[in-house]
Amino acid sequence: MGSPKIEERRALDPSVAGYLDNVLMPRIAQLHNQPIDSVGPRQILGETGQESGIRNQIIGGLTGAVGGQGLTGLENQGQNYLSNVLGGQYLDPTQSPVYRSIADSITRQAQEAALRSGDILNANFDDLPNEIRRVAEVSDLLHLDVMDDIFVPNFTFSLERSLEIIELSTLPVDVHLMVAEVDKKAASYAAKNTASITVHYEACEDPIATLRSIRNSGKRAGLAIKPNTPVAVLEEILEEIDMILVMTVEPGFGGQSFMEAMMPKVQQARHWLTQKGFTDTWLQVDGGV
């Protein structure tokens, strides 16, 4: 679970006192439908039984602990000091009831905003309608991985089988093409029930032309990058992309472990999308999730 402090580092006042007064207290007041003046250190830290002067203690101690780093240091040294101030009841400050309430709220909002795309790569194809139905019960999209044993060392579905799956699906289909000569093949997958078609940057002769062709068919155009491809290749063509797919395994086989080292790519892509105002662009990870 992520700390709400991380989400609020853009507060106008970057000091510890500014964080307490301008970010955390107003949020708690809003959560509890209370006026801001009624929210104090106990609401922030849980019922520790300490006097109201704890606020100044915390500000002084945290400021000293993190030095000139401001809020960027709170996640490390500052947390240790805060644990000591709490005197044992909440040795881990993240266990404060209100802290948990805030963090849980943020997590719920993120989960509600996310779309779940279910894969049928390991489905029983002798019972395809029921397999698709089971995916539909827990997903918002059906994810279809198409591999040709050329671009990646595995084969999954022919065009004919892919179109059969697309027609059977009760969900919009999210097609991920891991195939060679994808510029020529992408349009064939623009069936009526596809929501998006994602091609690999590495397989495209002309990524922009291919993405525009997909868009012209009325589908969302996605661009995927393999683990060894730098995320920088996306920056100058973001306006052409409806979905960025960051591979967190080497494409080709299921059952691989999630590559944590790919997460900075996701963070950088999200930064660019936010900075440039592409708020409708989807950001997806695939592999080991």
Catalytic annotation, residues:
145, 286
CA 15 → CA 18, 40, 69, 72, 99, distances in Å? 5, 18, 9, 10, 19
Residue ranges of alpha helices (H) inside 67-195 are: 79-85, 97-113, 128-138, 159-168, 182-185
Helix (H) or strand (E) holding 261, with range, is: none
Of the candidates 171, 213, 161, which has an alpha carbon nearest to the alpha carbon of residue 193? 171
CA 210 → CA 26, 182, 220, distances in Å? 47, 8, 12
Query: Residue written as tokens 């996605």?
Result: 222
Which SS3 state, helix, strand or coil, does residue 114 take?
coil
Regarding beta strands 243-247 and 194-200, do their DSSP bridges make them parallel or antiparallel, or are they unpaired? unpaired
The amino acid present at 226, given as its one-letter code, is K
- Spatial neighbors of 76 by CB under 8 A, at least 6 apart, are none
